[in-house]
Amino acid sequence: MQFHAYIEVMGNEHSHEGHSHGPSAADLASGAVNRRLWPMVVSVVIIGGFFVVELVAGLVFGSLALVADAGHMLTDVVALCMGLSALLLARHGRITDGRSFGWYRAEVFTAVVNAVLLIGVGVFVLVEAIRRIGEAPEVPGGPMIIVASLGLLANVVVMLLLRADSEGSIAVRGAYLEVLADAVGSVGVLVAGVVALTTGWGYADLIVAVLIALWVVPRAVKLARDALKILNQQAPAHLDLAALRAELSELPGVDDVHDLHVWSVTTGMDVATVHLTASGDQPAVLDAARAVLDAHGLEHATVQIEAGGNRCSGELTW
């Protein structure tokens, strides 16, 4: 006769009848979602307003560096709006049978779109800079310095608003990287403006635009790669599955560890499932397994205990 016991591991909450009860995976992230909303709203207002100023200035003065920085500002606005929408969906989207994890994955999708936008702007700037080689751009240094200084101030304010949550949410991290890239771009435009004002050498504008693009693209690729890892349900990079498996195997009474799966729903929401073949005191094995999973930061996990020698029959074909 085969015996199966289950425990849903939820932090340090109490357990009975083979289960422990506590907050769901969605509950674990809801407080953080609420905290992230107002900085995103303020950031959208600041960056959106300055995007208009910088774009108009770039077109009026013929500065590719200003236009490039305004393009990054536009991707900031889009990224912030998408991130804000994702957070609102995560907060208010209903969990249903068809969406058992709610809308938390919306953050990951926005990060992918954000990365694509960044790469697109970078490629456009590179192509436009190559096209302008041979021309002698006349760029007024004074207006560039003024606009870039205001842009840098706006970026620094928004970076301070988003920095605290940039590691806890991939959507916020995407927006933070956008704003960080803009801050670097504003510094570059300042340099180009000083060079143009003091020497009259307009090619500094093109060089700065290219450097901005080359700085942004690799970071956009990394953001896309991180988001795609989550969508592909790969194990979180900060978890050592070999060590986790070894610790579970070494628990008293555990004969075998199999079907161990760990993945992220979104940033900060790691979940796991595992089967343990065990003999002896199975409630004690469940408690010990919970302690191991908690130690690895897996507060939402499901453990199935199978009686010794009675591993689940029927091998998976995938």
pLDDT in the model for residue 246: 92
Residue-wise pLDDT for 142-178, tens only, equals 777 887 788 888 888 888 888 777 766 777 777 777 7
Q: What's the pTM?
A: 0.65
Question: Tokens standing for 103?
Answer: 């809308």
pLDDT at 127: 82
Looking at the predicted structure, is the pLDDT value of residue 318 above 70?
no
Proportion of the chain above pLDDT 90, given as a percent: 3
Tens of pLDDT along 184-224? 777 877 887 788 778 777 677 778 778 877 877 888 888 88
For tokens 């083979």, what's the residue?
18
Q: Residue 2's pLDDT band (boundaries 50, 70, 90)?
A: very low
**For the segment 16-44, what is each residue's pLDDT rounded down to a tens digit?**
333 333 344 444 444 455 566 778 788 88
- Calculate the alpha carbon distances from 137 to 102, 123, 144, 176, 256 in Å: 52, 20, 14, 32, 70
Could you give the domains of the chain? Answer: 4-24+235-307 (3.30.70.1350), 26-231 (1.20.1510.10)
What count of residues does the chain have?
318
Across the range 124-128, mean pLDDT stands at 79
Q: Which two tokens stand for residue 54?
A: 């910088």
Give the pair of three-digit tokens for residue 142: 């004074």
Q: Can you say how many angstroms the Cα of residue 166 is from the centroid of all Cα atoms in its chain? A: 8
User: Is the pLDDT at 293 greater than 70, yes or no?
Assistant: yes
Burial (Cβ within 10 Å: 0-12, 13-18, ≥19) of residue 19: middle
Q: How confident is the model at residue 244 (pLDDT cuts 50, 70, 90)?
A: very high
Q: Which two tokens stand for residue 220?
A: 């956009």
Q: Give the chain's mean pLDDT.
A: 75
Closest among 208, 193, 225, 211 to 116, alpha carbons compared: 225
